[in-house]
Amino acid sequence: MSRETVLALLREREGEFLSGEELSRRLGFSRAAVWKAVDVLRREGYAIEARTGLGYRLTAAPNAMTEAEIRNFLGETAVVGRALKCFDQLDSTNLRAKQLGMEGAPDGTVVTADFQSAGRGRMERSFQSPRGKGVYLTVLLRPGLPSERLLPVTALAGVAVCDAVEEICGVRPGLKWPNDPVLGGKKLCGILTELSVEGETGRVQYMVLGIGVNVLHGPGDFSQEVAEMATSLAMALGRSVSRPALAAAEIRALDRMYAALLAGDLSGYLAAYRRDCVNLGRTVQLISPNGSRETAAALDISEDFSLVVRTADGAEKTVRSGEVSVRGMYGYTE
């Protein structure tokens, strides 16, 4: 506990020196215990200056996905993020969140990992999650709503990610239908929603919403087949981005999203999705699970966040994310 309390006091007086004597007095620790706590913080990546006669001063914090760093940026939330579980390494944040769901973890529990050894995307695709590069998090939700009310959740999460990126980076991604935030025509983020349904009643026991944002990745962090369609915030913006600040912004955005979902008022999210969707007004390819392709014009997003298209024969139809994937004619979005 001494490490956390010393860090909290140094943050409280960030930029100023705090004497070892004052730290010792305020925390009830010995001077030696304070020094040991400072040493641990330094080894974790915190830059702490020490000067004889002045004490200690926090000058920089690591770009780390730890609870201390995320909470430093987070503030109060209504539900999402009240419980926060941060791990150095997991097979998958979705898998750990589902385990916590079965164990009775509370509504809004957030799981993060600095590295995923088996990150997953839609249709059982892998999601590459190198250490120290991205924001990989999953929120466990217990909405108590019928399953049909939960169908738009992945699309809502896409809007929430765009909100968070805009807040931290000052640039707003677009959305490639159904759920991919994109920058510069390339995929920035993967989103995977999974439900646990009670077999006898069909009642949704809980859902997990997993989000992986590429933050500090370089071209070499993507496999050859992924590199052509993927980007990161660092690659797109040409600068570093704080991962814990972005994680905190995502959690706040998801908290607002969850409140809207429970209230049943998604009009603002639908308007934002229609504005941000990069497919609308373009000719796209509809790719079925068996690999067949059909050309269509993307016209609109329906009230349930499905895609309304006009096919080559002039007919209009509505397609849903479980039925098809969408690609541009000449690339990922174009």
Q: Which residue has the higher pLDDT, 119 or 255?
A: 255
pLDDT in tens, 116-162: 887 665 545 556 788 899 999 999 999 999 888 999 999 999 999 99
CATH code for the domain defined by 283-328:
2.30.30.100
Instruction: Please name the residue that has the structure tokens 């040409």.
Output: 238
In one letter, which amino acid is 221? D
Nearest to 182 by CA among 156, 213, 226, 151: 213
Which CATH architecture does the domain made up of 67-276 adopt?
A: 2-Layer Sandwich (3.30)
* CB-facing half-sphere around the CA of 208: CA atoms within 13 A: 24
Domain spans, the chain:
2-60, 67-276, 283-328
Return all residues near 144 (Cβ < 8 A) that are at least 6 apart: none
Q: Flag whether the pTM goes above 0.85.
A: yes
pLDDT score recorded for residue 51 = 93
d(CA 13, CA 209): 37
Exposed/middle/buried for 12, CB within 10 Å: 0-12, 13-18, 19+?
exposed
| Same CATH fold assignment for domains 2-60 and 283-328 | no
Residues 322 and 305: beta-carbon distance below 8 Å: no
pLDDT in tens, 188-221: 999 999 998 877 777 889 999 999 999 999 998 9
d(CA 152, CA 322): 12
- The percent of residues above 70 in pLDDT, for the chain, comes to 96
pLDDT score recorded for residue 117 = 86
Alpha carbon 168 to chain centroid, angstroms: 13
pLDDT in tens, 219-240: 989 888 888 889 999 999 999 9
CATH 1.10.3720.10 fits 2-60, yes or no: no
Residues 215 and 243: beta-carbon distance below 8 Å: yes
Nearest to 90 by CA among 125, 56, 121, 118: 118
